[in-house]
Amino acid sequence: MASYDLSQIRDVSRQFQIYGDLQHVEPCKIGHINETYIATYNQGGASMRYIHQKLNTEVFRNPDAVMHNIQRVTQHQRRKLEAAGTADVSRRVLTVVPAMSGAPHSRTEKGQYWRTFVFVEGVRTFESVTNPPQAYQAGKAFGEFQRQLGDLPGERLAETIPFFHHSRRRFDAMTAAAEADVCRRAQQASAEIEFARKREKWVDVILKAMSKGQIPERVTHNDTKFNNVMLDAKTEEAMCVVDLDTVMPGCALYDFGDMVRTTTSPTLEDELDLSKVQMRMPLFRQLCRGYLEAAGPMLNRHERALIAFSGKLMTFTIGLRFLTDYLSGDTYFRVHRPNHNLDRARTQFKLVESIEKNEEAMQKFADSI
């Protein structure tokens, strides 16, 4: 993260309803989208930490809608947890600190949008799942998150990134990029392009089911990576789901499918040794168990019948995005080496193959819960 101006953070801190003296600020390196700082305040002799975060308005072009969504969602979660008599509520849902104006964020004279959360103490995050109990906690956390928001009152949430998981649009974009071949890369990616084209029939399955009303639109997280679940530092119990910028109307299966993609393989998404890339059934079983124990009662039979398929589709869709960016000249995802996006696409497609081989067993297990 680039160096920061302490005086700017002081100015930002004064824009929020926080009492006490700002003692210490340190940049937080989690995430790649927003600019984040951990700030410590002296409040009557006790130290209290907060998160100050500058929203990336290049990615989130309607920050007012983002924060309106987050405020509604977290307030509803808190009401549900308190009504259920849940202990430690302040560690199980994010707390938005209002600006002096009462709004959930503040806008500086330079047009920067800032927001503040109470820092969640006694938790930690992991970049990847290392054991089945962690997979169970990930599934349970995101399942409970969906269930909590199943009765969110009021108007439909804003779409903070329209068509974010729209697999048909992602496939068509890849096809167009391959045909245009503006960077003369299609030949090097010919095997991956052919791999994708052979699986085109997948991209409309969930979309068609939603258009027919068989699968409902729900409030979903839409970025269900394991590092977006905070675990208790001692017990590793899931405490709080974070990174709520993409919470919006969506499909429950997209959330679960992306969990399969990001928690069941032992490798990073740009692994060069494809022999290491595989879907691990022990992790899938625990992920699936945790998710269905929490969210299963609200899912209908059409959703449950596509549990395994969703993992395959979401992994395929993310692979399409990497492949499209490679063909287009690496204009979206940050790259750190030649062919980086092609390597990422190959890793995703190898995981797709592994899921294909295990899909029947995966769905059979889901059906047993």
Q: Output the CA–CA distances (angstroms, integers) from residue 125 to 138, 234, 325, in the order listed.
A: 11, 12, 29
Residue range(s) in the chain whose domain bears CATH number 3.90.1200.10: 132-368
Count the neighbouring beta carbons within 10 Å of the beta carbon of residue 147.
18
Instruction: Phi first, then psi: give them for residue 101, nearest 5 degrees.
Output: -75, -15
Q: Partners of 22 in the beta sheet? A: 41
Region 145-169 average pLDDT: 96
Give the pLDDT confidence of 210-239 residue by residue, as tens digits.
999 999 999 999 999 999 999 999 999 999
- Nearest of 286, 281, 311, 277 to residue 132 by alpha carbon: 286
Secondary-structure breakdown of the chain: helix, strand, coil percentages, each rounded to the nearest 5: 50, 15, 35
Query: What is d(CA 115, CA 98) in angstroms, rounded to the nearest whole number?
Result: 8
Residue 150 has pLDDT above 60, yes or no: yes
Count the neighbouring beta carbons within 10 Å of the beta carbon of residue 276.
13
pLDDT of residue 31: 59
pLDDT of residue 349: 98
Query: What is d(CA 81, CA 104) in angstroms, rounded to the nearest whole number?
Result: 21
Residue 260 · residue 314 · CB < 8 Å = yes
**224 Cβ partners below 8 Å, 6+ apart?**
138, 142, 255, 256, 258, 259, 262
How does 181-203 read in b/e, with b if 16+ C-beta sit within 10 Å? eeeebbeebeebbebbeebeebb
Give the pLDDT confidence of 108-128 residue by residue, as tens digits.
988 999 999 999 999 999 988
As a whole number of Å, the end-to-end CA separation of the chain is 44
Query: What is d(CA 250, CA 264) in angstroms, rounded to the nearest whole number?
Result: 22
Give the pLDDT confidence of 317-335 residue by residue, as tens digits.
999 999 999 999 999 888 9
pLDDT of residue 225: 93
Q: Output the CA–CA distances (angstroms, integers) from residue 19 to 115, 126, 317, in the order listed.
A: 16, 32, 46
* CATH superfamily, with its number, for domain 132-368: Aminoglycoside phosphotransferase (APH), C-terminal lobe (3.90.1200.10)
pLDDT of residue 1: 42
DSSP state of 93: S
pLDDT of residue 236: 96
Give the pLDDT confidence of 54-78 residue by residue, as tens digits.
999 988 999 999 999 999 999 999 9
Whole-angstrom Cα Rg for the chain: 21
Give the pLDDT confidence of 37-57 residue by residue, as tens digits.
999 999 999 999 999 999 999
Q: Residue 7's pLDDT band (boundaries 50, 70, 90)?
A: confident
- Nearest of 321, 328, 292, 317 to residue 307 by alpha carbon: 292
CATH architecture of 6-61+95-119: 2-Layer Sandwich (3.30)
**Longest CA pairwise span in the chain (Å):** 66
Residue range(s) in the chain whose domain bears CATH number 3.30.200: 6-61+95-119
Query: What is d(CA 365, CA 213) in angstroms, rounded to the nearest whole number?
Result: 26
Residue 2 has pLDDT above 50, yes or no: no
Query: What is d(CA 289, CA 140) in angstroms, rounded to the nearest whole number?
Result: 8
Residue 287 · residue 263 · CB < 8 Å = yes
Give the pLDDT confidence of 247-298 residue by residue, as tens digits.
999 999 999 999 999 999 999 889 999 999 999 999 999 999 999 999 999 9
Q: Partners of 39 in the beta sheet? A: 25, 50
pLDDT of residue 352: 98
Q: Partners of 231 in the beta sheet? A: 124, 238
Strands (E) located in the chain: 21-28, 35-43, 46-54, 96-97, 106-107, 113-118, 123-124, 218-220, 229-232, 238-241, 248-250
pLDDT of residue 28: 85
Count the neighbouring beta carbons within 10 Å of the beta carbon of residue 307.
26
Query: What is d(CA 252, CA 30) in angstroms, rounded to the nearest whole number?
Result: 25
Residue 118 · residue 35 · CB < 8 Å = no
Helix 132-148 and helix 252-263, axial crossing angle in degrees, nearest 10: 160
According to the 3-state scheme, what is the secondary structure of 252-307? HHHHHHHHHHHHCCCCCCCCCCHHHCCCCHHHHHHHHHHHHHHHHHHCCHHHHCCH
